[in-house]
């Protein structure tokens, strides 16, 4: 392993480096958002205003619909804006701009108009209460024309951010709040926030899942923070003689159904783990695809593990009860295998 490859970064350091390298490579890349000149809520833009100036790293007022609309207009005119949100929950204020404009303009123009915009969205529950705990990816999974990226490791985050910035379509870049590794912030799970990241720029194609752990007895499909809980659960299951294969989707749109089907045909069992609410979540789509393409390869029913269909509570014990835990994953796999 080279010295560059041996560097250990957090996710926020990895995506900041990706943005900075793309800004150096391409003058059309710029960043807007609330408090971005001082680093933003999760330090994604820390130091970038000093490095690139306030004409390329610009603070915005508390008016999400307005500055997302501005970014869409800038993208139409040939810029490549990155919109940094303090919390992904606030993107709901710009729902019309994204669903009615950004997602449709390229189609409505017959491909003549490009919309190269990236929205950086800190998502998921993290002890901040119901209005700051949405798994925002579920809201936009249904919308044609929007790409949806959900990295869970620093290596993936950098490569996927590079691809997102270079993409000519609107990309929602979703990171779980517990996985950033921002300075001074408690890391809920120590294995989440660090990893080896090469210094040189590299791109990971959108729509390609990654096999994070090989196994033979059951396939676990997950993403974001739930990926790490799934990996931890797989470690525990291994001590019981159960071999779990863990698939990290990495992107929800495009969805890599080929990797999912290949794994299910190998293990004959499927458990889907997502933090979003059970009703209407992306896990239902994965289950439907497997039922359609690999039903006869299954030896047991498909199991879905997701948050309860309630607002996320502010109380830490109640939040932990609502959100899927490692214990729930382990117990579900045991039941599936009749253990």
- List, in order of start, the domains of the chain with CATH numbers: 8-196 (3.40.50.970), 210-336 (3.40.50.920)
pLDDT score recorded for residue 125: 87
Pairwise CA distance, residues 86 & 100, whole Å? 23
Q: How far apart are CA 11 and CA 30, in angstroms?
A: 20
Residues of the chain with pLDDT under 70: 1-5, 182-193
Q: What is the pLDDT of residue 189?
A: 46
Specify the pTM: 0.94
pLDDT at 4: 52
What's the CA gap between 215 and 46, in Å, rounded? 40
Closest alpha carbon to 82 in 45, 52, 111, 49? 45
Measure the CA–CA gap between 315 and 330, rounded to whole angstroms: 24
Write down the pLDDT at residue 111. Answer: 94
Q: Can you tell me the distance from the alpha carbon of 63 to that of 286, in angstroms, rounded to the nearest whole number?
A: 35
Q: Give me the residue label for tokens 């109640």.
A: 318
C-alpha–C-alpha distance, residues 13 and 163, integer Å: 17
Give the per-residue pLDDT at 184: 40
Of 126, 125, 60, the C-alpha closest to 93 is 60
Element (H, E) at 68: helix 64-76
Residues 12-66 pLDDT 10s = 999 999 999 999 999 999 999 999 999 998 999 999 999 999 999 999 999 999 9
- Active site residue ranges: 132
DSSP assigned state of 247: E
Query: DSSP string spanning 286-328?
Result: HHHHHHHHHGGG-SS--EEEEE-SSPPPSSHHHHHHHS--HHH
- Residue 77 has a pLDDT of 96
The confidence score (pLDDT) of residue 186 equals: 44
Instruction: Mention every residue, 6+ apart, whose C-beta is less than 8 A from residue 121.
Output: 85, 88, 91, 136, 172, 173, 174, 175
Q: Copy the structure tokens of residue 267.
A: 């293990």
Those residues with Cβ within 8 angstroms of residue 111's Cβ, 6 or more apart along the chain or in another chain: none
Task: Enter the tokens of residue 138.
Answer: 């579920």
């Amino acid at each position: 392993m080279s010295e560059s490859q041996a560097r250990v970064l957090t996710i926020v350091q990895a995506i900041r480096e990706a943005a900075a390298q793309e800004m150096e490579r391409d003058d059309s890349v710029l960043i807007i958002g609330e408090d971005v000149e001082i680093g933003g809520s999760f330090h994604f833009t820390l130091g970038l205003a000093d490095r690139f100036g306030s004409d390329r790293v610009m603070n915005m007022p508390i008016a999400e619909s307005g500055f997302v609309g501005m970014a869409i207009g800038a993208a139409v005119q040939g810029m490549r804006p990155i919109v940094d949100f303090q919390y992904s929950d606030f993107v709901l204020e710009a729902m019309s701009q994204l669903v009615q404009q950004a997602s449709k303009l390229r189609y409505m123009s017959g491909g003549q108009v490009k919309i190269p915009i990236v929205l950086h969205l800190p998502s998921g529950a993290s002890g901040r209460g119901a209005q700051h705990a949405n798994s925002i990816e579920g809201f936009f999974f249904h919308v044609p024309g929007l790409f949806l990226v959900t990295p869970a490791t620093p290596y993936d985050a950098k490569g996927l951010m590079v691809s997102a910035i270079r993409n000519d379509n609107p990309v929602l870049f979703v990171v779980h709040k517990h996985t950033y590794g921002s300075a001074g912030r408690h890391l809920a799970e120590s294995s989440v926030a660090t990893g080896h990241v090469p210094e040189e720029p590299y791109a990971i194609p959108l729509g390609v899942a990654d096999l994070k752990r090989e196994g033979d007895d059951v396939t676990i499909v997950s993403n974001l923070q739930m990926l790490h809980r799934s990996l931890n659960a797989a470690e525990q299951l291994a001590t019981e003689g159960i071999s779990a294969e863990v698939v990290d989707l990495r992107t929800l749109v495009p969805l890599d159904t080929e990797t999912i089907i290949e794994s299910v045909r190998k293990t004959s069992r499927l458990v889907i783990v997502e933090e979003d609410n059970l009703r209407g979540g992306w896990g239902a789509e994965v289950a439907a695809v497997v039922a359609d393409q690999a039903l006869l390869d299954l030896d047991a029913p498909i199991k879905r593990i997701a948050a309860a269909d309630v607002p996320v509570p502010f109380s830490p014990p109640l939040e932990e009860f609502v959100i899927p835990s490692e214990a729930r994953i382990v117990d579900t796999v045991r039941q599936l295998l009749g253990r």
